[in-house]
Structure 1
Amino acid sequence: MELTAAALQPIGRYQINTNSNLELITSAAHVGFSFEGTEATVVAGAGWEDGHSYLQYELDGVFQKRVRINGLTDTLAINAPTSGKHTVWLYKTTEAHSGPLVIQKVIAPKATAVTRSSAPLIEFIGNSITCGAAADPSEVPCGTGEYHDQHNAYMAYGPRVARALNTNFVLSSVSGYGVYRNWNNNGPSLPDVYEKLDFQPATTQRWDFRKFTPEIISIALGTNDFSDGDGKSVRLPFDSARFVSRYVEFVRNVKSKYPQAQVALLSSPMLNGAKKQNLENYLATVKAQIDLAFPSDKPVALHFFKPMQATGCTGHPSVSEHGIMANELMPFFKKLLE
């Protein structure tokens, strides 16, 4: 039987397009389905004729592999080792700015949509690190192919923490973006595009924040604000007052969407020395201002990463280093969930 894309229950930002297909938009946005028998076929596309995207999938709770999806229509055959009922979860590997992963339909015996569990949900807001960008050169070496060829959202720190703690998750992250400026330009930054469906400045469609209600909102921004840029684009010297004020403004906006959620601010494992200390100081200032403004809410939680020398592409954490970050974060988030 055919299970239409519109019948699926996505987790993450998405939309149903004019062809009634499901566009998974954000990093690691995912959908689940069950089927009976030994084979299921997923019909998917990259969203544009000459492009490509990637998906990753689990079969019966076990991660399988990353799959390249080519052109407007491609197919993925999923083979189960035994008959009976099986559950599949499909994950978008790439980020919103790389275009959508389009799910058209699932063809399998007794195919049925799977809904997310009732477990708490964590929203991970951030930059390329949160996306899992430049983490996986196992198929396309660093410095070759296109930027999204080395993405691996499934293995990014956020999804790994969520899986370990049996929580749901969504990623709201954009490579290169910061709190008030980006790695090589003055914006628009992440707070400027957070309400846009796909984080694109020109997009008029806004995300419906009633779709999901996170229990915890994790924000990991600042790496790009502190960056030295690309040496070509002109940026003014780092402005600490503006950084703090924009961060406070952003946290206030996020809290307006989800008044009951606890906010957690993460530092950057990419910064060392004075930059590391300054970011931590500014995050403490943001916490103090938010806690003062919302005295009856749960206080803002802080986690300061241990610095690392990242070995992924262009100085990003590798898949294994995301595992190190996730292991460091698990006790922190476990405590917040208690």
Structure 2
Amino acid sequence: MQELYPQTGVCFDHGNQAKLYMVYTLGCNAACDHCLVESSPRRREKLELDVAKELLRVGAQFGKNFLDLGGGEIMLFPDEVYELARTAADLGYYVSLNTNGFWGRTPERARAVVGELQQAGVGAIFPSASAYHLAYVSIDRLKHIRQACRDLGMVYELNWVRSHRPETDAFIQTEMELDSETIFPNSLTTAGNDAGTIEALKVVYGSSVPDDIADCGSLQLGVNPHGHVIGTCSMTNRNEKFAGTPLFIGNFHDTPFDELLRAERDSAVLQFIYRNPHPALHKRLIEDPSLGRYYQDTFGTRRYYSVVDYYIDVFRDERVMAGLDEALR
């Protein structure tokens, strides 16, 4: 299998098959309109620390070595974050942290927290900035975190997403100095806290045929407090849309995690899309002697808001899946 990672950045320095994205909590001190897992202050679901540490231990046995921590807002539980990061680092994981940055209220506070995260084993911080986040977290706090990361040598990469408010987008790009940054396009997950915003974002992002879908490394193992084990970090709140496809691997509350990781490892389809980002599968299906014409006639002109939704649609087709399983083994 060819390894294709055209992007740059710490996330792309590790193969998707080695990554573990952990939604530690669905609770958050914000309720951003576009939040794909529908986090808010009302949510209480979170992983127990001991459960999360056991997932890391088992994951390491199956070759996982990149941990991406997130939520919700995981820094609502800083002591647990530090302990979890120490455990992960001891197991050989590179640890990255997603956060809305609420804790960077002063330069001094930002520097202190970044230092504590660094000492615990966190290697990279990914603060979020968007028109929706600014309703809850001021941009000054993100600037404090950026400067603290620069001062302390912490890897810093900003999670910025387009909104349906272009003036606010332009403000963020200027304030956070994004004009000189490489911005990786990604597609839209059509789930969130505000249905009206999601409809507006559909217009902003648009849909694409398989030839043109953007993919920003969306395929990697993800877990959440519900116990879901999904083959993508683009999880939603309940993840119903993944049911019945190879992307829904199982629930670790019902099935031992090692069995689920074994199933992930043995899935020819998952391992192919982990190692060969879009449009590799699309091209392979087009060129397949027995499936190509059927696939092109069926899926070639369908439109999708995300590469994940494209995979879901293809994986629900019994004829395609029968031929694909055989071709990839």
TM value normalised by structure 1: 0.30
More RCO (CA 8 Å, sep 6+): 2
Bigger strand share: 1
